[in-house]
């Protein structure tokens, strides 16, 4: 996989509600429902169901810190 492939995956899933799993620091795992609302050259934006906005880089997907579960 490459970062370009990750960008294409993000582009294909804009506006679709997904379940995400984020592997944070010190083995903390967070699961949340959200929608990819925007993408930029280095990052993309996920709006979580409780109207919280989070940004992630494409490398987070590449190294599996962020997973799209469904």
- Domain with 31 in it: what CATH number? 2.30.30.100
Q: What pLDDT is attached to residue 23?
A: 95
Indicate if the pLDDT at residue 49 is higher than 90. Answer: no
Q: Is 66 exposed, middle or buried (0-12, 13-18, 19+ CB in 10 A)?
A: buried
Number of domains in the chain: 1
pLDDT at 33 over 90: yes
The overall pTM is greater than 0.75:
yes
Which pLDDT band holds residue 70 (cuts at 50, 70, 90)?
confident
Residue 19, pLDDT > 90, answer: yes
Residues 6+ apart with CB under 8 A from 58: 3, 6, 7, 10, 42, 43, 44
Question: If you ran DSSP here, which 8-state letter would residue 30 be given?
Answer: E
Task: Pick the closest to residue 20 from 40, 42, 9 (CA basis).
Answer: 9
User: What range does the domain containing 43 cover?
Assistant: 3-68
Q: What is the mean pLDDT of residues 12-38?
A: 94
Confirm if 58 and 10 have CB atoms less than 8 A apart: yes
């Amino acid at each position: 996989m490459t970062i370009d492939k990750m960008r294409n995956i993000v582009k294909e899933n804009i506006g679709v509600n997904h379940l995400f799993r984020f592997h944070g620091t010190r083995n903390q795992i967070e699961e949340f429902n959200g929608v990819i609302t925007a993408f930029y050259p280095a990052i993309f934006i996920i709006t979580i169901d409780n109207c919280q906005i989070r940004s992630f880089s494409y490398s987070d997907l590449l190294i599996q810190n962020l997973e799209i579960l469904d």
